[in-house]
Amino acid sequence: MERLPLTPEVLVAAYSQGIFPMDVDGTIQWFSPDPRAIIDLDEFHIPRTLRPLYRRGQFEIRINTCFDRVIRACSDRSEGTWISDEIIGAYTQLHQLGLAHSVESFQDTELVGGLYGVAIGGAFFGESMFHYRADASKVTLVALVERMRDRGYVLLDVQFITEHLQRFGARAIPREEYLERLKVALEVDASFAD
C-alpha cells in the first residue's frame, strides 16, 4: 500500500474520521484507538492543589505565539518521541492554515510549558504537552479547557488514557461512541484563534 503524504488535506480527512498519525521508528503509522480517551468539558476536574496556582496567575498564558517552539519542546523527550521532523513540518503547515494551535505558559518572558493540538469544527485533538517548570503544562490544559468552553467546543480528544490525564477527568470510551461524538463535533462552528 502506498504511504499517504502528511499534507494538510490528508491530516484533516484523517482527523475527521478519528485517525491520527505517529512516527514509529522512522515510519508514519496511523492510529484509531479503541477505546479512545476524551475529557468531557462538563466533567473537567482541576486538581485541588492546582486551583490556587491557576487563580494566582503564576503563569502567563498565551495562544499561538510560538507554535514551533512548543511542538519542538514536545518532541524533545529523553524516552523517545513519535514527533519526528516530518510530523513537525506537517503540523506547522496546519498551524499556518489556522488548524493547529498551541497554548503556552510563560514565566518572566520564558516559555516554561505548553501543549498543541488540532482544531476542526467543535473538536480539539490534543497532541502533546511539555513542561520545564512544575505545573506549567497542567495550567495550559486548564486554559485550553476554559477557551474551548468559551468558544463553544464540544469534544476534547486526548487519544490515550494516562494517569496524568485521569487526574483531570479523562476517561476511555468505545471507538464507536467516540466516532458518534466526533460526527456531532465536526458540525459545530467554533473558532479557536482570535
Per-residue pLDDT band for 68 (boundaries 50, 70, 90) equals very high
Q: What is the DSSP letter of 171?
A: E
Q: What is the pLDDT of residues 41-66, one digit of tens each?
A: 999 999 888 888 788 888 999 999 99
Bond before 35 cis per omega within 30 degrees: yes
User: What CA–CA distance (Å, rounded) separates 159 from 133?
Assistant: 24
Q: Are 39 and 166 in contact (CB under 8 A)?
A: no
Residue 78 has pLDDT above 60, yes or no: no
Q: Please compute the mean of the pLDDT values over residues 136-142 and round it to a whole number.
A: 95
Count of beta carbons in the 10 Å neighbourhood of residue 108 = 6
| Mean pLDDT over the full length of the chain | 93
Decide which of 82 and 67 is more confident: 67
Q: What is the pLDDT of residues 96-123, one digit of tens each?
A: 999 999 999 999 899 999 999 999 999 9
Nearest Cα to 155, choosing from 163, 164, 144, 167?
144
pTM equals: 0.95
- Domains and their CATH numbers in the chain: 8-186 (3.40.630.70)
